[in-house]
Amino acid sequence: MTASSLKDIAAALRARTVSAVELATDSLARIEAGNPQLNAFITLDRDGALAAARAADARIAAGDNGPLVGIPLAHKDVFCTEGVLTTCGSKMLSNFVSPYDAHVVTLLKQAGTVMVGKANMDEFAMGSSNENSHFGPSRNPWNPDCVPGGSSGGSAAAVAAGMVPIATGTDTGGSVRQPAAFCGITGIKPTYGTVSRYGMVAYASSLDQGGAFARSAEDCALLLSAMMGHDPRDSTSLARAAEDCSRDLSKPLAGLRIGLPREFFAEGMEGDVRAAVDAALDEYRRLGASTVEISLPNARLAIPAYYVIAPAEASSNLSRFDGVRYGHRAADYTDLMDMYRRSRAEGFGAEVQRRILVGTYVLSHGYYDAYYIKAQKLRRLIANDFAAAFRQCDVIAGPTTPSVAYGLGEKTSDPVQMYLGDIYTVAVNLAGLPGLSHPAGFGKGGLPVGLQLIGDYFSEARLLGAAHQFQQATDWHRRTPPI
C-alpha cells in the first residue's frame, strides 16, 4: 500500500480495508528490509510511528477524512523532531535529540501524518549526491551503484523504493528537484518564504526552502498544501492565506505557454537526457501547450554566484556549532580555543569544512566587496532575467540535471564537477522562485530523467497542475525501481 497514491491509501483507510497501524507496520517492515542496501534512513521511530498511527485510526473512526490522516512519511533529517535524533547527517549532531518540532513537522502532525523515521542526507544539506553523510551514502533504488542525488537523497530514495508514499526535503540549490530526477519521482520546491524555516537547521538562510516528494504531482500537491503557511517565528515567512496547491490539477493545458531557455538547451546536456526532455516537451504540445524560445542571459553566472553566497551564509550559520552547548565536543583539548578548533575539525566533514572556509574567505575584509557583494548583484540580474521571461511565457521548462544519476565515487575527487551538476537548478533558488521536477523518461543504464518546470512567484498550483496533466497522459511516474 505504501507505493500507492495518497487518494487510494486514504480511500482504503476510510473503507477500513486497512488501518493506519497496518500501514505504519508495513512501511517500517519495508524500511528494515531495504535500508541495509539503500541506507535511505538514519533513524527509525517505531514506537512513535505506531503511537501516531493509533491516533490516526481514532481520528478516522471519528469521521476525520483529511487526505493525509494515517499516511506514513519520512522527514529529511534536517527538520527538528521532538524527542527524536536530528543529526543533519553530521557527526557534529550525531547525539542531538531535539527538544521541539520544526513548524513543518508540527503542521504535518496536525494533518495526521505518521512519521516513521528521519531520512539520510548530505551533511548539513551540503552536497549533490548524498555521499557527504557521516552515516554513509544513500543509494539509488534504480541502481544501488549510483547516487540518489542530494542533499535530500534519502527522502527521494525512500519514496522511489516504496518505503513511504511521501517525504519532506529541503532545497537550497536543487536539493529536492535533483534527487527527484535521479530517483524517478516528483519533487517540488515552493516559492521562498511560503514554507516556514523554523526548526529547519540552516545552511544558507536566504536560499533554504522546505519541499515535498511523492510519486506524483497530485500527491505532492496534497503534501505541500499541508506544509505551507505563515509562521510568525520565522522572519522570512510570508503572511499569505492558506494555499490549495491541488486547485489546478484538472485544468487543461490548452493555452499554456512554456518557455524554453536557449541557455538550458546548449552544450552540457547529455544526449540521453536531451532525447527524454524533447519527447516530454512533445507530449506537452500534444496536450495543448505551446512552446516559445526565451533567454536567461545570466543563467551561466548562477553557479559562481551561488557558490559564493551559499558558503558565506553557511560560514555564519554553522558558527553556532562550537562544542559548547550541544553536539560533538572533542575529548582532549588544552583551552577554550583549542576545544573550538578540535570539536569543529572532528565534527564537520570535508565538504562542510570546505564551504565554511570559502564562505569565511569571501566575507573577510578586502574580499567582501570583490566577491560577496558582486555575487549579490548577479543574483539580482538573474531574478530580473526570470521576470522578463515570464512576460513571454507562463512556465519555463528544461532538464533538471545535465545527466542521469552517476556512479558512487565518480565525482567526489572533483568538487567543481559536482557543483556543475546543479547548473539548471541553482538559479531558481537565487531568484526565490518555485520549481518542480517530474519523471520524463529514462536514459542510459535505464536510469530516470527528470523534466524541470519553473514558475513565477506563488505559481505552485499551476506547476503541479501542468505536471499532473502530463502524468495523466504518461506512465513514467508509475514505473518502479528493482529495489
- Is 94 catalytic? The answer is no
Catalytic residue among 19, 129, 138, 151: 151
Q: 114, 71 in Cβ contact below 8 A?
A: yes
166-170: strand order across its sheet: 41-44, 114-119, 72-76, 166-170, 210-214, 186-189, 435-442, 448-455, 395-399, 257-261, 290-294
Catalytic residue among 19, 76, 155, 343: 76
Contacts of 270 (CB under 8 A, 6+ apart): 402, 403, 404, 443, 444
Q: Which helix (H) or strand (E) holds 257?
A: strand 257-261
- Exposed / middle / buried, residue 350 (Cβ in 10 Å: 0-12, 13-18, 19+): exposed
Residue 262 to residue 14: CA distance in whole angstroms = 49
Q: 157, 165 in Cβ contact below 8 A?
A: no
Among 136, 204, 178, 171, CA closest to 356: 204
- Is 175 catalytic? The answer is yes
The C-alpha cell that represents 129 in the structure block: 549526491
CA distances from 170 to 154, 200, 208, 325 (A): 12, 9, 7, 25
- Is 4 catalytic? The answer is no
Catalytic residue among 27, 90, 152, 175: 175
Q: Please identify every residue annotated as catalytic.
A: 76, 151, 175
